[in-house]
């Protein structure tokens, strides 16, 4: 098969389009013909080898995949060749306390597809049958490949971690990113008042269409805490949706309201941040980490997308062979929503 294969860590140029052995499904596994593969910042970190886990080389990236069942391993009974499917939040043990409690994203044996095993930047991918879900007819392959990470992550952060309530103020940073545009929509669905930040007027206008009530141009007002105070009569934000990291962390903490919660799923501009401890204790604020999503989160967002209540936003669709170019665009943050690769 054709695949984007990484033989070394580094810049986008290490992503080479070449031949690679087609995987063979073992017992309880499924071979999926990939129709669309979504891009994520985790792919960039894995490629560079600077944050997160260092992968074994050669490696194929790609966390989220949509496609059709091409072949079944022994023992798979609930799927058939030709079925439309989408990959879920990963591979987990299914036996530990966390898995039994439905918190698969906290399983210590959990494997991330595209990091710990080969991902979807390829014509075919092999996955355990339980790690796949049927893709409803109303969702295209491209939308399917842009659903799981953005909406599943945003749902887990805002519902399971920050417990966002109707009427609360939610500050969404970098609303033009895949997870940012998902957070605006999930926040709106939950009945929150949304303040969104982005670096261009065009991105802010699109965030308003998705449900943002107020917007802050981050390029003009880098100290956004002041702007948030002005928009909230001095109260601050009840929940801050972080994923930017070093560049925004300081203001994200100081902008919290009394009893506010900051929830983060990423650190695209760097992993270290300065925390105003006075803001933290005097406001009885909470800092929350969040990673990926559970099976239940995944089923919920897939249902809401199929009902049209949440809408994946596609920035662009590129041929698989142009993965390096797609990474350059993502790194330059010249995107609104998700980039999807098509084999
Ligand atoms: Zn487990």
* Domains, the chain: 2-147+312-342 (3.90.180.10), 151-289 (3.40.50.720)
Ligand 1 center–CA 110 separation, angstroms: 7
Distance 100 CA to ligand 1 centre (A): 7
| Residue 294 Cα to ligand 1 middle (Å) | 12
Instruction: Output the pTM of the full model.
Output: 0.94
Please give the distance, rounded to the nearest whole angstrom, from the Cα atom of residue 92 to the centre of ligand 1.
5
Q: Is the pLDDT of residue 189 over 80?
A: yes
Q: What is the pLDDT of residues 140-155, one digit of tens each?
A: 999 999 999 999 999 9
pLDDT-derived band at 24, boundaries 50, 70, 90: very high
CA 98 to centroid of ligand 1, rounded, Å = 6
Please report, rounded to a whole number, the percentage of residues in the chain having pLDDT higher than 70.
100
Residues sharing a CB contact under 8 Å with residue 193, sequence separation 6 or more, in sequence order: 167, 168, 169, 170, 213, 214
Summarised one tens digit per residue, pLDDT across range 286-311 is: 999 999 999 999 999 999 999 999 99
Residue 186 has pLDDT above 80, yes or no: yes
Ligand 1 center from residue 291 Cα (angstroms): 15
Strands 29-38 and 64-72: antiparallel
Q: What angle do CA 165, 168, 171 make, to 5 degrees?
A: 115
CA of 96 to the centre of ligand 1 (A): 4
Q: What is the 3-state secondary structure (H, E, C) of 290-339?
A: CCCCCHHHHHHHHHHHHCCCCCCCEEEEEEHHHHHHHHHHHHCCCCCCEE
| Distance of alpha carbon 250 from alpha carbon 248, whole angstroms | 6
Apex CA 234: angle with CA 230 and CA 239, to 5°? 95
pLDDT at 221: 82
Q: Convert the pLDDT of each residue in 38-95 to its tens digit.
A: 999 999 999 999 777 789 999 999 999 999 999 999 999 999 999 999 999 899 999 9
pLDDT tens per residue across span 81-107: 999 999 998 999 999 999 999 999 999
Residues 6+ apart with CB under 8 A from 141: 35, 36, 66, 67, 84, 135
Cα(91) to centroid(ligand 1), Å: 9
């Amino acid at each position: 098969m054709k695949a984007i294969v990484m033989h070394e860590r580094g810049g986008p140029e290490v992503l080479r389009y070449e031949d690679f052995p087609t995987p063979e499904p073992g017992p309880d596994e499924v071979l999926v013909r990939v129709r669309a593969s979504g891009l994520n910042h985790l792919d960039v970190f894995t490629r560079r080898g600077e944050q997160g886990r260092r992968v074994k080389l050669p490696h194929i990236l790609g966390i989220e995949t949509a496609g059709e069942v091409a072949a079944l391993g022994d023992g798979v009974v609930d799927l058939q060749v030709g079925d439309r499917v989408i990959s879920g939040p990963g591979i987990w043990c299914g036996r530990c306390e966390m898995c039994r409690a439905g918190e698969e994203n906290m399983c210590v044996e959990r494997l991330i597809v595209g990091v710990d095993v080969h991902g979807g930047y390829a014509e075919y991918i092999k996955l355990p049958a339980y790690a796949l879900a049927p893709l409803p007819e109303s969702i295209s392959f491209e939308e399917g490949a842009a659903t799981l990470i953005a909406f599943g992550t945003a749902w887990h952060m805002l519902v399971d971690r920050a417990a966002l309530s109707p009427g609360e103020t939610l500050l969404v940073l970098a609303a033009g990113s895949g997870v940012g545009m998902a957070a605006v929509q999930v926040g709106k669905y939950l009945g929150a008042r949304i303040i969104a930040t982005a670096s261009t007027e065009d991105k802010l206008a699109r965030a308003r269409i998705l449900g943002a009530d107020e917007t802050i141009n981050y390029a003009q007002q880098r100290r956004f805490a002041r702007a948030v105070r002005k928009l909230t009569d001095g109260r601050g934000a009840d929940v801050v949706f972080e994923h930017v990291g070093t560049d925004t962390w300081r203001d994200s903490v100081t902008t919290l309201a009394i009893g506010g919660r900051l929830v983060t799923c990423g650190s695209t501009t760097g992993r270290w941040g300065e925390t105003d401890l006075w803001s933290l204790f005097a406001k009885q604020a909470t800092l929350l980490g969040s990673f990926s999503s559970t099976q239940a989160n995944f089923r919920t967002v897939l249902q809401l997308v199929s009902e049209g209540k949440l809408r994946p936003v596609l920035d662009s669709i590129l041929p698989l062979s142009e993965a390096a170019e797609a990474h350059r665009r993502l790194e330059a943050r010249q995107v609104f929503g998700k980039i999807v690769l098509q084999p």
